[in-house]
Structure 1
Amino acid sequence: MDLLAQQDYVIIDQFFNSERLKSAHHFFEQKQEEGEFQKSAIGAAGTSKVINEIRGDYTYWLERERDTELAAIFEALDDVKTIFNRLLYLSLADYEFHLAHYPPGSFYKKHLDQFEGRKNRMISVIVYLNKGWKDGDGGELRIHPEGEDAIDITPLENRCVMFRSDTLFHEVLTSNTSRKSITGWMLYQPAVLPFLAL
C-alpha cells in the first residue's frame, strides 16, 4: 500500500491462493462454454458504444448474489477493500468486477478508467488468469506513469496489478493468444475524496 501511494501502481504476484485461483479458472471456462461473454463497449451505461478500433475484449459482469461459485473471490475482494480503507484512508464503499477475455488480435487503446461525469472509480484491480504465458504472446498492460517512460507488465497467471483509476493512463497491447483476467474497480459512492498517501 505504501508503494501504491507513492507511485500510483503496484504489482503483486501469487495473488490468490490455490483454491481461489482454481475456482476462478473453472468459472471463467464455464461462462465461456455457456456463451455468456458480451462484446465490450465504451462509455457509461445508457451512452455506451461498441468501437472495435478502441477495444476488442469481451466481458461477463460479476454479481455476488448470482455468481455464488465465486464466493471465495468476493471474500478476497472484501479483504482488499478493507485494507485500502484501513491503510490508505480511502473510505471505499463498494466495488464492481467482471471477467475479461481478449481473443487473439484484440487490444484496448490508451485510456483512463473513468467515465465523464462519473468519478467514483478510484483503484483499478486486475488479476490475470493466463496459464503458461510466454514471450511473444502479447497482451501486456502498458501503463503510463506521469513524467516517466511507459512500463509494460506481462499478464502472468495469478499476477495482480492495482493502480489509480483517476490518474494512470494505460492500454492493453495486442494479444496474440487468448488473454483472460478478473478486472474491476474499487469505488467511492457517491463522491470522490482526495487520494491520501501515507
Structure 2
Amino acid sequence: MRIYGDLVSGNCLKVKIVADLVGLSYEWVPVDILKGESRTPDYLSRFPAGQVPGLELDDGRCLAQSNAIMRYLARDSALIPGEDFLRAKMDEWLFWEQYSHEPAIAVCRFEMRYLGKPSEARDPARVRRGEAALDLMERHLAGAQWMVGHGVSLADVALFAYTQWADEGGFDLTARPAIRAWLGRCTQALRPAAAD
C-alpha cells in the first residue's frame, strides 16, 4: 500500500496519523505540492483531481480525498464509533471540517506560511469563516473532551490537523481554552503514532 502526500498539508498528515494509529504497513511517497508534483501525468493517472493525499492499494486501486481515505483505513478500528448515531455525528464533523473549517484555516495558513503574505492580506470573508469555525469548536469542546463520544475518533484527527496550526494562519487560540486543552489531549493521543 502506498500513501502519496506532502506533510506540509494537514490533509496528508491526518491520513498518516490514522495509518500509524491503526498499525498499517505502507510506503509513504512524498509529493511536493509546492513544486507541482501532484500535477505530473504519472500522478494524475492515479489521482485525476491532482490533489494530495492519495492512497494506492496493493491491487492498484486508488482512493483520493483525505476523509474518505481515513474512513477506509480506520474501518475496523476504535477510531470509528461503534454506535450508529455516534458514527453519523463523526461523519457530520468530517463533512463540516472539509466545508467550513479547512477552506478557511488551511488557506490562510498556506498564504501566510508558504506564500509569505501578512495577516492583513488575508481575505476578510475567509477570516470570518475561520473565526466562526473555531468559535463553534470552542463552544462544543467547552462541554466535551472529544468531538464525538468518550474517546478519540476520526473527527478529532480531522480537526486536529489544521487546528494545531491555526496560529500560522493568523488565528489566535489564546482566548479559546477548550480548544487548547483538546489540542493537548489530541497531541497525547495522536502524536506518538505520527512520530514513528
TM-score of the two chains, using structure 1 as the length reference: 0.28
Greater percentage in helix: 2
Which structure is richer in relative contact order (CA contacts within 8 A, separation 6 or more)?
A: 1
TM-score of the two chains, using structure 2 as the length reference: 0.28
Greater percentage in strand: 1
